[in-house]
Structure 1
Amino acid sequence: MYARPLAQALERLRRALATVPDLPGPVEVTGCVATVGSSLRMQLDQAVLPVVVEELGRTAARGDLRGGTPQERYRSFWEDGHLSAERLARDYPVVSAALDVIAGSTADSVALAVRRLAAELPALQAAMPALSGPAVDITLVGGDRHAGGGQVLRFKLRDGGGVYYKPVPQSSSTLFHDFLGLLGVPEEMRPARPRVVEGSAHGWMQEVAFAPCATAAEVCRYWTRCGVLLAACCLLNFTDGHFENLIAAGEHPVLIDTETMLQNYSWRNPTGTLESVVDTGLVQPSDPRTPGRGSFSAFQVMGSDRLSTLAPFAVHRHTDAMGVGFRRITHAPPLNLPVLDGRFQSADGYLRELVQGFDTVFTLCRARRAKILAATDFWDRVAAHQGRQIIRETAHYARLLRLIQQPTSARSWPATDAELNRHLRVGTASRYDRLVPGEVAALRDQDIPYFTHLASATHLSCGPATHTRFFRTPALAQVRQNIADRGPAFAAAQVAFLHDHLSTPPPDPSLTPADQHLLRASSAAHSGGHHHEPADDLL
């Protein structure tokens, strides 16, 4: 079903890589294309699977399959041409187009990233001296596709570790750590600063390696720095602090994705300010009625107790009874909590240290408020910053992408558009409905809709569309208001929340086999692989 678009995409990628200048040695084209191809096959297989199962079932129901065994009847489905790429394009144009888009845009995005790596390698090596040797592996990390298939890539260089390519600017990381300096947070209390290099409309981040702690004192310092991190994220309207965005590098928490810094909250509440620590995503309310269900926060996810996404897979594979199931797929093992002596050190045992770091930031903010607000150079850079605005959960969009690959939605573009509108429109003339045409256009292109906003403005953009006066106030004004107004009462309320919801250990204190493997492995690098948990058959 996807042999043609896959072959064309990989050949285009192979030709593109062969023309790239040395990095500083030649790109190992065959190996790099092979790893990209492996990831692409999985994506394409998942996209076409529901239609294959639908057509297989119809053919079996008509009695048109030959053979005495389920496997023989399955083979006859393909040998007799009951479903071909040509018929797919005719009867399921949405899925057929998705195969072309996924394959082609991925190849083009990887080729663009490699060209940028070649052009910017001197700057990268100046900032990250360990990077050396040719690129021997390119991994599609599995993050959101957006803006024409742009996605995070991991480049592994033969002699010098890895570097992540991000198709969005990384200036928010610099702003965040400069803000800690403005606050006057002592160096020994600050979260570690990842090595970042800015490109034109993209950026690079050196791979951060997980490492366990060696002593209890290191764990205490880790959680103190997490308190600093949490408080600074509150003041800067950060969100999206899920567990995959925090790496425990020994005693140093490292926030590796800050693109949702400077969120604009005026679309959802009158004041436009962040309401509590929960808004950061770094912590979430604990619910004793449903322990471990849907955990995502960087400070709480432990072991196998973590939010996972659902991906389609074949049930009764290669038989005439083949069906579609969904299995939970998580990035494994989790890297967000410190480990000492083979055990996760969760926040419940270190609330004093967490609160100390949190209170330190708010105490410094009150003492240095006037100086911080008068730092013209910093605020000018904030004003010019264009960041990502979260409007709807990425998981919601991901479900919609799976939905339009189902046979009933994939038979025509009007059916697809109707399905998307049904799940996106609020039903009234709300500000959400202004966004729907852009969201539908992105989802048609197999992208997660990606919203951006200028911190000093009130408009919201998605692709070529700009929605003027979408926000009541700019994010810049909201953040400055946070610094001016957030006093002891706010800080005390957040500390009370932390005690209420982090004072007991998360429900899964054991280490999974994947976690144990992490601890046995070298702490000098961490894996970007996937762990497949037991299947949950939903269809």
Structure 2
Amino acid sequence: MLASGLTEAALLALLEAPAGATCTSPEAAPAWVHELEQAYAEPLRAPVTWPERAEGPDRSAFLPLVEPLVARAVTRLGNALKDLQRAAPGLDFEPAGLVSSMLGHLPQVLAPVLGRAMVVELHAAQLEARLAGDTPEARFQDFTRRLRQPQVALDILERYPVLARCAALRIADWEANGLELLQRLARDASLLWQRFNGGQTPGALVEARGGYSDPHRGGQGVFILRFESGLRIVYKPRSLGAEAGLQQLLTWLNARGATPVMKGAEALDQGAYGWMEYVAPAPCASTEEVRRFYERQGAYVALMHALDGTDLHFENLIAAGEHPVLVDVETLFHPLSGTRTLRDAEHAVEAPPVSVIRSGLLPQQFWGTRTKAGVDLSGLGARAGQLTPQAYLVTAERGTDRMRFERRPVALPGANNLPRLEGESAPVLAYRDALAEGFTRMYGLLLEHREALLAEDGPLAAFARVPMRVLFRNTAVYGALLHESHHPHALADGLERQRFFDHLWRAVVASPDFEALVPLEIAQLERGDLPYFTARVDSKDLEAGSGQRLPDFFQETGLARVRRRLEGLSPEDQTRQRWVLERSLDALLLSTRTVPRPTYAFQEHTPPGLRDALLAEARRAGERLLPLAFERGGEAHWLGLDAGDGGWRLGSPGADVFQGRAGIALALGYLGDVTQDARFTRLARATLRTQARLLGAEPGSVVGLGILNGWGGILYALTHLGVLWNDDALLDEAAGHARRLRPLVEKDTVLDVGAGTAGCLLALLVLGEHRPSDALWATVDACGQRLLETATPQARGSAWLCEAAGNRYLAGMAHGAAGVALALLRLFGRTGDARLRDAALAGMEYERGLYAPEERNWPDLRAGAKEAAATPEGAEHFLWAWCTGAPGIGLARLSGLPFVDDAAVREEIAIARDSTLARGFGRNHGLCHGDLGNADFLLQAAATLGDARLQARVDGVAGGILRGITERGYLFGLQGSTETPGMMVGLAGIAYGLARLARPDRVPSLLTVDSPRIVRGEGLGTPDGRPSSRIQEQS
């Protein structure tokens, strides 16, 4: 009510008034109503002549409905241009031809408004047998002919008054904007000839084409003007101060040694509008030119990072030979509001806001799902033919009386963002070294000349008074809202449409700023515009496209933000940002090609001083982690690669243990303990602060329950670090999270250790040792009950359906019966409930039925595993890993010995031991399906069984892993051994695994969800959460 300016009394009066009473007099009707009355007062004398590019069933079929309005606008605009021609003799054009060319984009503006309602009317006419014709095509033609009858048209417009308003306003906008364009051109002609044509008159203006941008501020958009001489000039109805400032900055950088020389688009800023050089796409002549193109792109990545640019997607970039040219840079100096905007929140989820990925230039997948690939819209990664993960409305059987709209994915069209060589696109992956070199050089140049850049009279000063666009939501969200608001129900009832736009108010819950923004968004959407907001670079005020101003909306100006960004440039940040650049290219590579996993020649080796060598290598892995953290305000953010969106993408690794913050913090915490290095402990704490804030704001963002992917791992990390640091607050935090889990457990369908109830049960049992409560034990019992009730009898034993692995009954620790059985046995150890032990035994029996003696292993039955490994038809796929296969099953049996110790179990442990020693090493150094995970099984087996000979073999394995690292570097568990910071397949896990081999007395086994190995107070923390004195002494 307050947002609409309504008092309670006014609202009650409106509700009491009869329908239609709010606008009863002709004088109160808006101008568009009068325009409608006059336009349809008599039949149209002649149909509008649409240019050829406006034709087609999708665009022009239903235009006869509004042709009377279009005809009047065409006549008025033509007459106005004749008057302008007489008043501006220096500008040569033919009014009728020019109006015709400007008319070309109007159908694409009107088609979404008319389409669905007209299809409803078409079907009604067809069902009522009102259409003449023997074929579907003839009946369709008859329908469109009838639309030209004034009474038929008026009847339809009366049924859809919102449609009538939208169409009338957009036609009026087309007329007004077209005239304004030509008036501005006439006024600026001599300046334009001087700036863009060497002072020569380019001849007559022969074409003015629109439709090159979204509609903003009264339907305004970009036009490309073509003159008789062939000259083309781009008109933009906004300030081009950003483009002009960028061109000046590039000139300044070129003078100081930018290599290769950078080239921007020439721009003439006229305040509220401007003119730009038309940049024509052109091919490269050689691979050297392609290489220089990507060096320049790397330079732009650095420069846009420094200028806090965003939204630099593929449509804003033209490959003009060896020069990438940014043709739209209206989103530099992007400010932040007092609280997070939705777009800021998206970036917080996808990437730290100080990452080079934010600009939109680097490859990045968006809008993917677990089963469908996302799309890459970036300046460097977008490519033609990608299918949108969302379904869009498209016409089917068009041009017939069966025409309808269907929702289906559409293919993205080609663009001009990538260089071409010999008729083929030259994608970035073949030139990634050039991109990285260009980035490094430009970053170094900015660092070298930082003081001059920041000077009062430096090149940043040119941007100070420039209005820059501010993005609060993804433009696609606005576009979808506007498109869906043309549903026939909304076009028939303005209140219905208003209620639809009210969905925008949901944003206020997460971002209070939107309380002021939503009314401004809705006002622009109602007008048919995509919401548009700007802020001057040196101002904290926000201005809406509809004209309203919100003073002091931002907590700091865009200029101040960029100055801080430049002041924060450093060699360390350069290394971190280059790492992000490299990983974004890895994501593109993994999304578009099959990349093999590297292996190495493993050989057992026991060097002298093994424990010290292992600890030293663990420290080196941790030191590699340190510069990858994005630290700000006492928090630490991370980036990693994830394959969960139907394609690989670089983004925040989330809250979990597998790749996320919980695993990274756990590894750093224990690394700080065993190395007594305060840097690791400090970063672990900073990571947990980030975790606490994000989970506090969005607890629903975590949906899994397991130890790897879900709440189980989060609880496990908090419990361990709370004990390690003697920090009650962390244990309280874990207990608080645990209180919300019972409803999730009762509905869980994943069930396994990795992402389901079994993993949650194991973590809760560890937490219960340190924060017992009736509520926690009730949730523990609920976990056991859920596993009992979901056990499914098999031909031999029982198993649990793993929904996350393609609804299969699996063997193994992470996803199969072995892990569930271990969880049940540990709960049996607490409760003595024989049903739990019996269910565990049934799960173990199921796995015995799958055992393949010829492989001395258990098969990997996950959906897609055989195909991914190119396993021959009819053969089983086997993996020697903790997650799936002998090492994990052996570890589960070993950990369950206190509860089930018989000859069969002992034999399985021996089989797993021998099989792992024979075939479990030489792939990668990760925990999940790598050598350090397998080594953990052997380490525990030697200790549990008291086997000195096996311990000697474990030492040889550890030494062999160290030798492999020395010779090949770290091999990560992702495809292509792509570096990532996470626990199970990345750097954190390598550091943790090495630290565990060095100090198994202090570093517990994550892989068996062990309890802490230390007594509270023995770790490197103090009760108030500060590092202990022995850490402080070294810091």
User: What is the TM-score when the length of structure 1 is the normalising length?
Assistant: 0.86
Match of 1:285, as an amino acid?
Answer: Q
Deviation at 1:123, TM superposition (A): 0.6
Aligned to 2:357: 278
Match of 1:225, as an amino acid?
Answer: R
Match of 1:464 among 539, 547, 565: 547
1:20 aligns with 2:84: yes
Deviations 1:108-128 (A, max 9, x none): 111111111111111111111
1:53 aligns with 2:124: no
Match of 1:127 among 195, 212, 232: 195
Structure 1 CA distance for aligned equivalents of residues 450 and 393 of structure 2:
52
CA contact (8 A) 2:385 2:412 kept: no
Deviation at 1:419, TM superposition (A): 0.3
Match of 1:84 among 152, 167, 175: 152
Structure 2 CA distance for aligned equivalents of residues 452 and 51 of structure 1:
34
Secondary structure of the residue aligned to 1:194 is coil
Secondary structure of the residue aligned to 1:55 is helix
Match of 1:373, as an amino acid?
Answer: L
Structure 1 CA distance for aligned equivalents of residues 301 and 289 of structure 2:
18
Deviation at 1:506, TM superposition (A): 8.7
Aligned to 1:527: none
1:205 aligns with 2:273: no
Secondary structure of the residue aligned to 1:201 is coil
Aligned to 2:385: 304
Deviation at 1:417, TM superposition (A): 0.8
Aligned to 2:238: 168
Aligned to 1:383: 464
CA contact (8 A) 2:316 2:379 kept: yes
Deviations 1:344-369 (A, max 9, x none): 22211222221122112222222222
1:487 aligns with 2:551: no
Aligned to 1:263: 334
CA contact (8 A) 1:155 1:165 kept: yes
Structure 2 CA distance for aligned equivalents of residues 142 and 327 of structure 1:
24
Are the structure 2 counterparts of residues 425 and 102 from structure 1 closer, same or farther at C-alpha, using a change threshold of 3 Å?
same
Deviation at 1:87, TM superposition (A): 2.0
Match of 1:434 among 508, 516, 527: 516
Structure 2 CA distance for aligned equivalents of residues 4 and 107 of structure 1:
14
Match of 1:241 among 312, 315, 330: 312
Deviations 1:104-155 (A, max 9, x none): 1012111111111111111111111266011101111331111112110010
Secondary structure of the residue aligned to 1:425 is helix
Q: Which structure features the higher share of strand residues?
A: 1
Structure 1 CA distance for aligned equivalents of residues 215 and 462 of structure 2:
27
Structure 2 CA distance for aligned equivalents of residues 316 and 14 of structure 1:
37
Secondary structure of the residue aligned to 1:189 is coil
Deviation at 1:39, TM superposition (A): 2.0
Name the structure, 1 or 2, with higher relative contact order (CA <8 Å, separation 6+). 1
Match of 1:473, as an amino acid?
Answer: E
Structure 2 CA distance for aligned equivalents of residues 502 and 407 of structure 1:
44
Query: What is the correspondence of 1:205-354 to structure 2 with a 5 Å cutoff?
Result: 205-266=276-337, 267-268=339-340, 274-285=353-364, 293-305=374-386, 314-325=395-406, 333-354=414-435
Aligned to 1:514: none
Query: What is the correspondence of 1:357-376 to structure 2 with a 5 Å cutoff?
Result: 357-376=438-457
Deviations 1:438-495 (A, max 9, x none): 1111111111111011222222111222223322211111100000012223222221
Match of 2:570, as an amino acid?
Answer: G
Are the structure 2 counterparts of residues 369 and 72 from structure 1 closer, same or farther at C-alpha, using a change threshold of 3 Å?
closer
Secondary structure of the residue aligned to 2:507 is coil
Structure 1 CA distance for aligned equivalents of residues 415 and 145 of structure 2:
44
Are the structure 2 counterparts of residues 66 and 382 from structure 1 closer, same or farther at C-alpha, using a change threshold of 3 Å?
closer
Aligned to 2:73: 9
Match of 2:519, as an amino acid?
Answer: P
Aligned to 1:410: 491
Aligned to 1:155: 225
Are the structure 2 counterparts of residues 113 and 76 from structure 1 closer, same or farther at C-alpha, using a change threshold of 3 Å?
closer
Deviation at 1:45, TM superposition (A): 3.1
Farther-moved stretch of structure 1 (415-424 vs 174-183): 174-183
Are the structure 2 counterparts of residues 181 and 502 from structure 1 closer, same or farther at C-alpha, using a change threshold of 3 Å?
same
Aligned to 1:401: 482
Secondary structure of the residue aligned to 2:311 is coil
Structure 2 CA distance for aligned equivalents of residues 508 and 36 of structure 1:
40
Match of 2:194, as an amino acid?
Answer: A
Farther-moved stretch of structure 1 (417-426 vs 283-292): 283-292
Secondary structure of the residue aligned to 1:19 is helix
Structure 2 CA distance for aligned equivalents of residues 494 and 91 of structure 1:
57
Are the structure 2 counterparts of residues 351 and 91 from structure 1 closer, same or farther at C-alpha, using a change threshold of 3 Å?
same
Structure 2 CA distance for aligned equivalents of residues 353 and 397 of structure 1:
37
Secondary structure of the residue aligned to 1:88 is helix
Deviation at 1:71, TM superposition (A): 4.1
Aligned to 1:98: 166
CA contact (8 A) 1:171 1:385 kept: yes
State percent identity of aligned pairs: 27
CA contact (8 A) 2:91 2:189 kept: no
User: What is the TM-score when the length of structure 2 is the normalising length?
Assistant: 0.46
Secondary structure of the residue aligned to 2:376 is coil
Match of 2:92, as an amino acid?
Answer: P
CA contact (8 A) 2:282 2:320 kept: yes
Aligned to 1:522: none
Secondary structure of the residue aligned to 2:431 is helix
Deviation at 1:40, TM superposition (A): 1.2
Deviation at 1:274, TM superposition (A): 3.9
Deviation at 1:508, TM superposition (A): 7.1
Deviation at 1:76, TM superposition (A): 5.5
Deviation at 1:329, TM superposition (A): 7.7
Match of 2:71, as an amino acid?
Answer: A
Are the structure 2 counterparts of residues 19 and 333 from structure 1 closer, same or farther at C-alpha, using a change threshold of 3 Å?
farther
Match of 2:560, as an amino acid?
Answer: A
Structure 2 CA distance for aligned equivalents of residues 126 and 426 of structure 1:
48
Secondary structure of the residue aligned to 1:205 is strand
Match of 1:352, as an amino acid?
Answer: D
Match of 1:498, as an amino acid?
Answer: L
Match of 1:9, as an amino acid?
Answer: A
Gaps of 5+ in 1: 510-539
CA contact (8 A) 2:363 2:585 kept: no
Structure 2 CA distance for aligned equivalents of residues 70 and 464 of structure 1:
48
Deviations 1:288-320 (A, max 9, x none): 978973221111123434879987554323433
Deviation at 1:263, TM superposition (A): 0.9
1:500 aligns with 2:583: yes
Match of 1:150, as an amino acid?
Answer: Q
Structure 2 CA distance for aligned equivalents of residues 114 and 140 of structure 1:
13
Gaps of 5+ in 2: 1-64, 594-1035
Deviation at 1:247, TM superposition (A): 0.9
Aligned to 1:35: 101
Secondary structure of the residue aligned to 2:190 is helix
Structure 2 CA distance for aligned equivalents of residues 165 and 506 of structure 1:
40
Structure 1 CA distance for aligned equivalents of residues 391 and 221 of structure 2:
19
Deviation at 1:19, TM superposition (A): 2.4
Aligned to 1:449: 531
Match of 1:280, as an amino acid?
Answer: S
Q: Which structure features the higher share of helix residues?
A: 2
CA contact (8 A) 2:299 2:442 kept: yes
Count of aligned residue pairs for this structure pair: 509
Structure 2 CA distance for aligned equivalents of residues 308 and 195 of structure 1:
37
CA contact (8 A) 1:291 1:507 kept: no
Aligned to 1:533: none
Match of 2:159, as an amino acid?
Answer: D
Deviation at 1:421, TM superposition (A): 0.9
Match of 2:363, as an amino acid?
Answer: Q
Deviation at 1:326, TM superposition (A): 6.2
CA contact (8 A) 2:331 2:468 kept: yes
Secondary structure of the residue aligned to 1:254 is strand
Deviations 1:31-77 (A, max 9, x none): 22222223213432332111111122234444555555434544555
Deviations 1:197-230 (A, max 9, x none): 1213100011111111111111111111111111
Query: What is the correspondence of 1:106-145 to structure 2 with a 5 Å cutoff?
Result: 106-129=174-197, 132-145=202-215
